[in-house]
Amino acid sequence: MMEVTYLGVIIKAILILAIISAVAGFGTYIERKILAFMQRRLGPMHVGPYGLLQIAADGIKLFTKEDFIPQNANKLIFMIAPIITAATAFIALSAVPVFPDFTIFGIFVPSVASDINIGILFVLGMMAAGLYGPLLAGMSQANKWGLIGAARTAAQFVSYEVVTGLSLLAPIMMVGSLSLIDFNHYNETHAWMVFTQPLAFVLFLIAGFAETNRTPFDLLEHEAEVVAGYATEYSGMRWGMFFIGEYANMITIAVLASIVFLGGYTDLGFIPGWLAIILKIAFMFFLMLWVRASWPHVRPDQFMWLAWKVLMPLAVINVVITGIVIMV
C-alpha cells in the first residue's frame, strides 16, 4: 500500500481527461464502423487508412464552423450548457477506478483519482447533475423543438434515475459499502454479481442506456420526431461538447457495470486483471452499439410506462427479495 501524493492525483486527473476525451473521439469512429458492418456497409473509408483519420477531419470541421447563437436565445445559458454536460461527465469519472494502479517516475498514481467513501452515490449524483446540460440548452434557445427536447430530457432522466438507484441498492446491500473499491474486493472472494443479481443487472443496463441517451431510448434528439431535440440550434464545437459528454457517460456506465456486476479487476483465467477490465469495458461499449443497430426507437409514452409500471416495481421487489435472502 502506498501513500497517495497530490502530484499522483493530479497526474491521474490529467490522464482521465486526456484518455477519456481521446476514447470519446475514437468512439465515434468505432460506432460508425460497427454500425456500418452490421448494416453491410463499409462506413468511413476515405480519410486515412480504413477511415482512421476521420476523427481528425471531424475535429477540423467542428473547430472551423461558425459559433452560431440564434437571435432570441438566452446567450449566457446557451453558451455554458454544453460545458455543464461535458464537465459533469468527467467529474463523475473522478470517483471511478478507470485504470489500475501504477507507478511512474517514482510517483504512485492511484487507480481512482478520488477515493471517496460514497463512490457510487457520487457518480450517480454527478450523472444526474448532467441533466442540466440538455435541459438548459433546450430551454435557452427559444425554439419549440429544443423545448420539447428539454422536457423529454427531464422526464427521461428523472424517471430512469429512480430505476438506476433502486437497481444498485441490492448489490449495495450485499457488499455493505458504496465505495467501488470495496465492490472490487467483494468480487475477488465471491461469485460475479451478475449471477447472484441477474435482475439488478438487467435493470441497471436498461436504466444506463436511458441515462446515456442510447438509441432505443434517445427520445431527446430523435430526428424523426423532434428535429434534433435540445441540440437543434447548436453547431461546431459546442455541439461537439454534448457528444464528448455523452461518450464519457457511456464509458462511466460501462465501468460501473464491469466493476459492480462483471467482476471488476479480478483475473479472468489466464487474462490479467488490467486487461480483463479493459475487455469488459470494451464489451459493454460494443453492447451499446449492438443494441443501437438491433432495436427500433420507443414511443415516449411507452418509455414512461416501462419505467414506472414495470422496471420500478421490479426493482423494489428485487430489493425486498435480496433482503429476505440475506437475512435467512
Partner 1 sequence: MTHALTDHPYFGVFVLVALTGIAFPATLFLARWVGRKLSRLDTERLKMSIYECGPLPTRQPNAISIQFYLIALLFILFDVEIIFMFPWAIDFKLLGWFGFAEMILFIVLLTIGFVYAWKKGALEWHSIK
The nearest distance, CB 93 to partner 1, in angstroms, is: 7
Q: Does 278 bind partner 1 (CB under 8 A)?
A: no
The whole-angstrom distance between residue 242's C-alpha and the CA centroid of its chain comes to 12
Distance CA 109, CA 19 (A): 15
Distance CA 22, CA 43 (A): 20
Q: Does 107 bind partner 1 (CB under 8 A)?
A: no
Strands 107-109 and 102-104: antiparallel
- What residues numbered 40-69 form the site for partner 1, per CB under 8 A? 62-67
Question: Looking at beta carbons only, is 47 or 162 nearer to partner 1?
Answer: 162
What is the size of the binding site for partner 1 (CB under 8 A)? 94
Distance CA 51, CA 56 (A): 10
Question: Looking at beta carbons only, is 177 or 196 nearer to partner 1?
Answer: 177
End-to-end CA distance of the chain: 37
Question: Looking at beta carbons only, is 73 or 257 nearer to partner 1?
Answer: 73
**Contact pattern for partner 1 over residues 153 through 172, marking x by CB under 8 A:** -xx--xx-xx--xx--x--x
The nearest distance, CB 128 to partner 1, in angstroms, is: 9
Look up cell 478520488; give the residue: 114
Query: Where are the extended beta strands (E) located within 96-253?
Result: 102-104, 107-109
Distance CA 109, CA 103 (A): 6
Distance CA 134, CA 149 (A): 8
Q: Does 101 bind partner 1 (CB under 8 A)?
A: yes
Among 57, 107, 142, 202, binds partner 1 (CB under 8 A): 142
The nearest distance, CB 139 to partner 1, in angstroms, is: 7
The nearest distance, CB 179 to partner 1, in angstroms, is: 7
What sign for the dihedral angle of Cα 309, 291, 321, 125? negative
Q: Does 189 bind partner 1 (CB under 8 A)?
A: no
Q: Does 19 bind partner 1 (CB under 8 A)?
A: no
- Only one of the segments 40-48, 193-201, 290-298, 320-328 lies at the binding site for partner 1 (rule: CB under 8 A); that segment is 320-328
Backbone angles phi, psi at 39, to 5 degrees: -105, 15
Distance CA 296, CA 218 (A): 10
Question: Looking at beta carbons only, is 35 or 121 nearer to partner 1?
Answer: 121
Q: At what angle do helices 198-211 and 312-327 cross, to 10 degrees?
A: 150
Among 177, 192, 194, 283, binds partner 1 (CB under 8 A): 177
Question: Looking at beta carbons only, is 52 or 69 nearer to partner 1?
Answer: 69
Question: Looking at beta carbons only, is 34 or 179 nearer to partner 1?
Answer: 179
**Contact pattern for partner 1 over residues 218 through 247, marking x by CB under 8 A:** ---------x----xx--xxx--x------
